[in-house]
Structure 1
Amino acid sequence: MVSRSSKRRGVLIGVMLSAVIGGTAQSAIAAPVRDAGDQATPFRKAPMRSTEQEIARALSASLRDPQWRGQVRAAALDTEDVDLQALAGRTAAPEGKNLFASVSAADRRIAGLKGLPASTGSLLRVRLGAPSMRSHLNSDVTPWIAVAAAADDAKSLTAYDSQGHAHAVDTARVPDRPLYVLDIDVTKAHRAGLKVLQKAFADKGLTSLPSKAANSAHAAAAGWWATKVTAVEVNDDQEPWFKGSAEMFSLVTGFGQDGTARVDSVDMPYLDYDGTVYYPNQILVNWSHYKYNLADVVMMEDDDGTNYRALAQAITTALLTVTDQGTYIPLVNAVLSAIPDS
């Protein structure tokens, strides 16, 4: 069982895995390596922050239109995360139609800032701040629009009313006034980002992208050893009311059969709630890819502001400087040093 003590954004856990000869069991020791939360700022840095503020102000002003406001309300009550570009693209309400171009441009800008391809599509999402606000969300109320804070320990959020005025919202408690939170679709960005990482690693010869058919044929012919996550639990995630769902993934590093450093990304999208034990039976390490019976794993939670292209470049640059000395050399420090504190 591999466990984490916290699910806060920016927390990294370094794990060394040792293959057990003759089986698929593993021993794992997990210890906190670095917590970037101490250095985190309450909000994402510009220009991503300024882009979200721009759309938040535009959206709050657009809610003066009763027809559009009702459509946003219906969508927020029906869906946990509303695709803002899609909603604005199909409305007949003038204010919503006017908003579409701005949101589309902002989505493209955010994708670029996160190092994602233009094909990623829409990323901005709107959600009701908390379930308790549902009973207060009626046709007579014009909700404020709050921009999600990047740090879990932010003391306040900036919210805009329909007249363009900014308000500080205390994060210590759920406000009585209903408000929408404007945020980035972390799940969508995360999955697109993992593809960016995988391609960048493959381009540098740090991993391979074999077909599923090839994997199945190899396993059927010879079999292979693997380490899997049998059970995993997240404790005390400290996720505040204004945060949406988070995404976790692991970077598995070691030396490939050719003696060069290798890194594989492993998605862990099921880790949503603390106090819950998940039984994914997920393959973490395929030992046939590695020269030694040792590997390092960095488990991390995706930050909304992650630039995947920059992250991939930093990690590949760090790992390409490490050479095989004929015995296993831990690579976790090289990976952690390459990851920006933010």
Structure 2
Amino acid sequence: MIKKTLLPVFVGCYLFFFTSCQENELGPTQNPATDGSLDALALDVVELLNESDAYHPVISTLEQEPVGISLSDLLFSIDINSKSGSISRLQAAAKAAEDHLKVEVAPDKVEIPELWLHKPNGLSVISKSDLLVAYPPAGDETEWNHIKAYTMDKKVVYLDPAKAPDVPVVVIEKYGFQAFKQEAIYMNKMLKEAGLQKEESFRDLAEARMTSTGLETTILDKIRLNDDQEPWILGSAEIYAITSGIRNDNNEAEIAVIPMYYLDKEGKTYYPNQILLFWDDYAYQAANIQLFEKDGNHNYQELVSTLVNEVTALVGSLSGKPWITALGKIGAAIVEALPDSFWTNDDDYVDSYYTIEKTSTYTDYYGAGGNAKASMRPYFVPAN
């Protein structure tokens, strides 16, 4: 885990946390780009935590939801009597996000306000006097110099984006775990509409897709990442797999996006028991599994559109070539279809498993980049 420290910032005097030297804003050359809506929400969260009957329910809920909880679900789960302006504003923000997703046409960006708790290792009790409320800066994460945070009396302090602090922090964001779940649904829908995914998708275990005896798959028993690419303020890593294989004799591609919600920290081994490959989707007994990390502020629609264009153009040139050649080129095209210019915070390429075979077992098997180590095996799902 990352060592946790606070960053003192020079702003006319040295600003040390919890001293009498106060500063409300950094100068123009020092102040990181901020998201105004998140800044307002952060102040409302501070007010919420200062409600006498809200602090303990909120903190207790966040401790039970380490990857984060939507603002809507949090407000629904806590029982408080206050009708303060901050609670009304938080409720309005949650409702606006929900309404934005009810439209028939998928939005360009999925924004769902959510909160999660950064709790330093070894900390058993969260003291209100130590608690901060923060949010991710806007802009390219490689250019982040400081992270703006509020104390419980609304004083501003600045945190180091590269080192997680030694104090607890409630983080509010819009492009986190909850938004990622919805984006994955939209991405698979777009792939299906583009003809790169069968009408009955890999997620369906419907009887219609079963053979008379069952379904042949490859299951992920164990996985560990050496580096999940995620700055601490962005919380749990949103890791997803893009699987690809050959659908037919024309070397047409079958592609799917599979969220890996559990895979949120580097250097930790997970035992997900998750099916990654459904062999009924492919004409041949090998497929690719490539891992990526979703970072916020990207346009997932543009990502899928570019992926579709790259793969469709490539597959047109692969007809008649050996299928194993086509499989390798499709895997390479998926990585090449992810240019940095599409994101403010780029989706990070994590690792690739090329040519995973249907009948093979892989134990502590490293990806091509050496960043992921996984154990996979054939798994048969019997029919009912």
State the TM-score, normalized to the length of structure 1. 0.67
SS at match of 2:147: strand
Q: Does 1:147 align with 2:140?
A: no
2:241 to 232, 250, 253: 250
1:213 to 206, 210, 235: 206
1:184 Cα offset (Å): 4.3
Structure-to-structure mapping, 1:274-289, within 5 angstroms: 274-280=266-272, 282-289=274-281
Q: For residue 238 of structure 2, what is the amino acid of its counterpart?
A: E
Segment of structure 1 superposing worse, 121-130 or 191-200: 121-130
Alpha carbons of structure 1 residues 109 and 153: separation in structure 2 relative to 1, 3 Å: farther
RMSD: 4.0
Higher helix share: 1
Q: For residue 253 of structure 2, what is the amino acid of its counterpart?
A: A
SS at match of 1:181: strand
1:148 Cα offset (Å): 3.2
Structure-to-structure mapping, 1:152-171, within 5 angstroms: 155-161=145-151, 165-171=155-161
Alpha carbons of structure 1 residues 132 and 53: separation in structure 2 relative to 1, 3 Å: farther
1:279 Cα offset (Å): 4.7
1:321 Cα offset (Å): 1.8
Task: Indicate conservation of the 8 Å contact 1:146/1:181, yes or no.
Answer: yes
SS at match of 2:257: strand
Q: Does 1:52 align with 2:38?
A: yes
Q: Does 1:85 align with 2:53?
A: no
Task: Indicate conservation of the 8 Å contact 1:129/1:241, yes or no.
Answer: no
SS at match of 2:210: helix
Q: For residue 305 of structure 2, what is the amino acid of its counterpart?
A: Q
User: Matches of 2:246 and 2:302 in 1, distance apart?
Assistant: 23
Query: Any idea what the Cα deviations from partners look like across 1:138-195, whole Å, max 9, x if unmatched?
Result: 4xx3843111358499553211345655321134555455432213473333332221
Task: Indicate conservation of the 8 Å contact 1:55/1:102, yes or no.
Answer: no
Q: Does 1:187 align with 2:177?
A: yes
Task: Indicate conservation of the 8 Å contact 1:253/1:296, yes or no.
Answer: yes
User: Matches of 1:162 and 1:281 in 2, distance apart?
Assistant: 42
Q: Does 1:103 align with 2:93?
A: yes
1:137 Cα offset (Å): 1.4
User: Matches of 1:93 and 1:263 in 2, distance apart?
Assistant: 49
Task: Indicate conservation of the 8 Å contact 2:130/2:167, yes or no.
Answer: no
Task: Indicate conservation of the 8 Å contact 1:235/1:275, yes or no.
Answer: yes
Alpha carbons of structure 1 residues 201 and 237: separation in structure 2 relative to 1, 3 Å: closer
1:335 Cα offset (Å): 2.0
1:300 Cα offset (Å): 0.9
User: Matches of 2:261 and 2:320 in 1, distance apart?
Assistant: 36
Task: Indicate conservation of the 8 Å contact 1:145/1:161, yes or no.
Answer: yes
User: Matches of 2:141 and 2:290 in 1, distance apart?
Assistant: 21
User: Matches of 1:332 and 1:51 in 2, distance apart?
Assistant: 39
Task: Indicate conservation of the 8 Å contact 1:134/1:178, yes or no.
Answer: no
Task: Indicate conservation of the 8 Å contact 2:114/2:176, yes or no.
Answer: no
Query: Any idea what the Cα deviations from partners look like across 1:2-50, whole Å, max 9, x if unmatched?
Result: xxxxxxxxxxxxxxxxxxxxxxxxxxxxxxxxxxxxxxxxx9988xx44
User: Matches of 2:189 and 2:320 in 1, distance apart?
Assistant: 28
Aligned to 2:115: 125
Alpha carbons of structure 1 residues 58 and 212: separation in structure 2 relative to 1, 3 Å: same
Aligned to 1:298: 290
Task: Indicate conservation of the 8 Å contact 2:112/2:174, yes or no.
Answer: no
1:74 Cα offset (Å): 4.8
Q: Does 1:336 align with 2:324?
A: no
User: Matches of 1:236 and 1:299 in 2, distance apart?
Assistant: 12
User: Matches of 2:32 and 2:222 in 1, distance apart?
Assistant: 33
1:68 Cα offset (Å): 4.3
Aligned to 1:325: 319
User: Matches of 1:178 and 1:61 in 2, distance apart?
Assistant: 17
Aligned to 1:312: 304
User: Matches of 1:101 and 1:159 in 2, distance apart?
Assistant: 22
User: Matches of 1:231 and 1:271 in 2, distance apart?
Assistant: 11
User: Matches of 1:156 and 1:309 in 2, distance apart?
Assistant: 30
SS at match of 1:321: helix
1:207 Cα offset (Å): 0.7
Aligned to 2:363: none
1:250 Cα offset (Å): 1.3
Alpha carbons of structure 1 residues 179 and 245: separation in structure 2 relative to 1, 3 Å: closer
Q: Does 1:265 align with 2:257?
A: yes
Which 5+ residue runs of structure 1 have no aligned equivalent?
1-42
Alpha carbons of structure 1 residues 185 and 132: separation in structure 2 relative to 1, 3 Å: farther
2:194 to 193, 196, 204: 204
Identity of aligned residues (%): 21
User: Matches of 2:333 and 2:98 in 1, distance apart?
Assistant: 32
1:200 Cα offset (Å): 0.9
Alpha carbons of structure 1 residues 162 and 311: separation in structure 2 relative to 1, 3 Å: same
2:83 to 73, 78, 94: 94
Structure-to-structure mapping, 1:29-44, within 5 angstroms: none
Alpha carbons of structure 1 residues 271 and 178: separation in structure 2 relative to 1, 3 Å: closer
Aligned to 1:30: none
User: Matches of 1:340 and 1:44 in 2, distance apart?
Assistant: 25
Q: How many residues are paired up?
A: 291
